Structure 1
């Protein structure tokens, strides 16, 4: 049988409780046996020796081991499926021929075209209501099949495809970090959950393009907070996500950055647990670290800073380290910037300590304003700095793109730098 003759019919085999024979004791057999055991098959391995993985399975009683070379069709008696991977083409051909004679499907790992069955390139996409499995055949070309499989899995985890299982299974909540603003920085798990959600409870820092590509039937509830304006109190947000889940809906609470970095995700998780609602936390790339990085500012750097602190710019400031070699990242700090700078100087930070403000990180509107504690408030007012923005204080700011420049660099399609 040649590779060109293959026109496979994709079937799912129910192997639980059924005999499968694997000929050969190497790593290829070990990988396949692991999959077969996961499906509940009763596996016998025929081989004079076993690789460590198979030996461990035999010792644990999970497989039966016939410790000799393949002896003929009697070894295959009663098998629903045969897999051969001996590394010897002559032996593999003999196993395939014997399986053909007794009308048992056979996979030949060394050359898939020589058997009567092939194993597709497979992938799995976990969803809150079960696992979606992908299987790809590509005319006997395993590399091409694997490449197509990878593309399909990427698409399924992108959030574009509706992965919801509409059978009633009870509600759930996922507290999902949307990252700093660039849609490409959303995690695969986050994309999968978005595609599976019935309801998305979102804030204002979530990329709008991400919401626009949700399935049309997904309901979006905007509870976004703005500086000095909280139209939906946190207690009410907690109540919304719990009530939606108790109605049997899959709920994604989508938050900018990471839900556990000054995002009150812990409170939302506690509210779900108190109501016995299944809840999952999906980390996001926190803006506290990634937004400074987008402007060329690492929060730690050998010789400049060995640690950093993230605060919101309020009562925490007086007790923080005062050395410029300890980086301070201030979130939601634009409105109180002048007071924050003054309090840091009063607490012991030098007035000439470098400061950077990065607005709209990871978007085409990103802009960086650079200065010191002594003048950053005036510079910010001069160029009209507005939230969302991340303020970075410390020596690492001197590594920012544009530090030391004497003019403003304006590039609408890329991050810009505003200096004195």
Structure 2
């Protein structure tokens, strides 16, 4: 969808996946968690929904428990993935980051509530710590893991080195980390000289800044469509 939105605005898009989504090292913890009852199940990404759905449909277990649970989603895309599966997110924050979701859950989480967090194996612990502080009994379980995708590193290096890239986009902190891992610390500033950096939200921007990447574009809404619009708006003066 992201590429299509940019192409519709006249951009030439070079798709370079920097991460690959893979199953967790073991399905056993997720299977065990899905077999139990939870007051809330909190999804923090489309990938989390997709991998839980994949496992439920493969085993035939866990769907009824999900239907009995109250569901929360970190943003509209994640809520949409649940809706595509026939499930409704009761809570979706206005600010699509873990801190926003935590604040939105504060009034509805009761002490002792059982909360399941199916997530990436590598993620921040903001939600788990915050919900535990609210008095919830939190179960964190890896529904998937990410790994750096290096297959396109050569083509990306060439495109950047030849000045054929105007903007690099990051849609998660993991994409920033994996992108930076493709290049040496001394090489990266030279490759990105004159290149605009666009990040989907403040957490991703902070990760980029921590890697020495100054970010010029961050949308007000932390969604893919909003990021695409922000990029188009940023470059409109140059096109006129």
Q: Shorter chain as normaliser: what TM range?
A: 0.3 to 0.5
Higher strand share: 1
Larger radius of gyration: 1
Give the structure-1-normalised TM-score.
0.26
Higher helix share: 2
Structure having greater relative contact order (Cα 8 Å, sep ≥ 6): 2
Give the structure-2-normalised TM-score.
0.39
